Amino acid sequence: MKQFYFYESYAKPICKLTYEEIGQVVKVICGYVFDNKEPNEKTLPKAKALFYLLQEQLTEEKGKEKVTAKRNAKHFVLPLSYAKFLQALEDEEAGILIRQCCNFMFGTPPVTDEEAERIDGYFELIKPSFEKSKRQSENAKRHNKKRKKQPVTLAKIRTDFPEIRGNLNAENPILNGVDLDKLYAFIAENGDVRAEQMYEIVELFRFQNSL
């Protein structure tokens, strides 16, 4: 593997540890993911315990033929180069840095200003890749939302507002220039109009929108 996905579900329990423990557990995760190494006798108990709780998920991710992020799961990418960088830091500094990253990406509890100063230069170097990841995630959400949105049709209006009386043919001239999405919103926002005939509702909509 050249990278792995660090999920919000990992961040929440990890960020409850001390900085030294955070640094150790993330280093152990990196060692396991990239080099198949497990905790050793120097690993602090809580860091070791949390690793073992996550090990099954990490093994599953490692075993994928094509490594892709879980759908709709918040995450950031941790490449091999970042893993090596974290391994080179003192445990406490690595812990502060990871917590800063998790706060930036997931909104987990922040570090103090004094703590941030210790790793500020490091964080600024990797921050652009996190900002890119955030933009990609937001763009994907917008794309999926747009793709999932079903177009409004007269049939959908009739189904969603069954109390409306009467029907309209899609070819009826009264519908010329009428945006059905806006007509749907008009009906949804004005419950009293649903007691009218469909034709009369469209007339009201046209009047209010100067069509």
Summarize pLDDT for 90-138 with one digit per residue, the tens.
999 999 999 999 999 999 999 999 999 999 899 999 899 888 878 877 7
Q: Do 72 and 117 reside in the same domain of the chain?
A: yes
Q: Name, in order, each residue with C-beta under 8 angstroms of 1's C-beta and a sequence gap of 6 or more.
A: 33, 34, 62, 67, 80
As a whole number of angstroms, the distance between CA 28 and CA 183 comes to: 57
16 and 93 belong to one structural domain: yes
Instruction: Identify whether residues 119 and 91 lie together within a single domain.
Output: yes
Same domain as 114, residue 55: yes
Predicted model pTM? 0.65
Mark which of 111, 132, 148 sits at the end of a domain.
148
Indicate if 34 and 123 belong to the same structural domain: yes
- The structural domain count of the chain equals 2
> Which domain range does residue 168 map to?
154-208
d(CA 173, CA 94): 68
